[in-house]
């Protein structure tokens, strides 16, 4: 039997035991999470910089650990665009309590200076950490992809009450990162509602986890018949 003896200089990092004791995560993934969680307010970083803070693990090991955190729902990485719709960087949303779903990260991520946003469901840290990109302040940041409007439209069409959760955001943003537009998502919602809404056995599948699933979405979109452009709400421009 071993005994743990702690020695500290009072430089604390407060984190939920949920992530620390999550046996579904590797020790590597837990270590990466703790390193990111320990960062101070207004931390600006490059992914390549994080690699340099471990002389043992390289880029591939780090990327595998980050993907593991994404799969478990502790991390969501969102691509940020400027007014010209050009990729300008990323925002990392970090939570010490996983979402119920499994957000899928972008496989080919842009290089640049990401921002880190952390939240703490246990209120260990009072403030959210939001770091803007190196060359852009928050006041000049481009509007975020309107993922909330996608969920609102689904609720409007189905009469359901899906919330703006991290899980639903992860699903919608993942399809956006795959290259699909808000209009594509609207088309899928419209078409599947026509097929399923009044069908007792299928109406239950009019939900984000089914409609925006990576293995299903493109098939649903390709099944939409050609028709005149839908004259819906202006926010379906994807801007």
Which of 4-8, 121-125, 223-227 is predicted least confidently? 121-125
β-partners of residue 128 are none
Predicted TM-score of the model (pTM): 0.42
Residue among 158, 49, 166, 64 nearest 113 (CA): 49
State the pLDDT confidence band at 117, using cuts at 50, 70 and 90: low
pLDDT at 121: 42
CA dist., res. 183 & res. 175, Å (int): 12
pLDDT digits 0-9 by tens, 40-96: 655 667 777 777 777 788 888 888 998 899 888 888 877 777 777 777 677 778 887
Domain edges within the chain: 17-137, 147-237
């Amino acid at each position: 039997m071993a005994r743990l003896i702690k020695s500290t200089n009072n430089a604390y990092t407060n984190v939920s035991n949920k992530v620390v004791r999550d046996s579904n995560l590797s020790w590597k993934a837990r270590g990466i999470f703790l390193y990111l969680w320990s960062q101070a307010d207004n931390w600006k970083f490059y992914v390549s910089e994080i690699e340099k803070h471990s002389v043992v693990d390289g880029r591939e090991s780090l990327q595998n650990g980050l993907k593991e955190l994404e799969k478990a729902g502790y991390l969501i990485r969102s691509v940020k665009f400027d007014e010209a719709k050009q990729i300008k960087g990323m925002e990392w949303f970090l939570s010490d309590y996983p979402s119920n779903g499994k957000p899928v990260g972008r496989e080919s991520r842009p290089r640049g200076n990401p921002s880190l946003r952390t939240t703490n469901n246990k209120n260990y840290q009072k403030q959210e950490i939001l770091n803007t990109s190196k060359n852009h302040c928050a006041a000049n940041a481009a509007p975020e992809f309107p993922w909330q409007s996608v969920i609102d439209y689904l609720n409007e069409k189905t009469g359901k009450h899906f919330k703006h959760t991290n899980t639903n955001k992860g699903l919608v943003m993942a399809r956006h990162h795959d290259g699909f537009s808000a209009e594509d998502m609207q088309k899928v919602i419209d078409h599947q509602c026509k097929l399923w809404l009044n069908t007792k056995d299928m109406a239950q599948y009019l939900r984000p986890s089914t409609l925006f699933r990576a293995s299903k979405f493109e098939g649903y979109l390709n099944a939409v018949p050609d028709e005149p452009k839908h004259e819906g709400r202006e926010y379906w421009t994807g801007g």
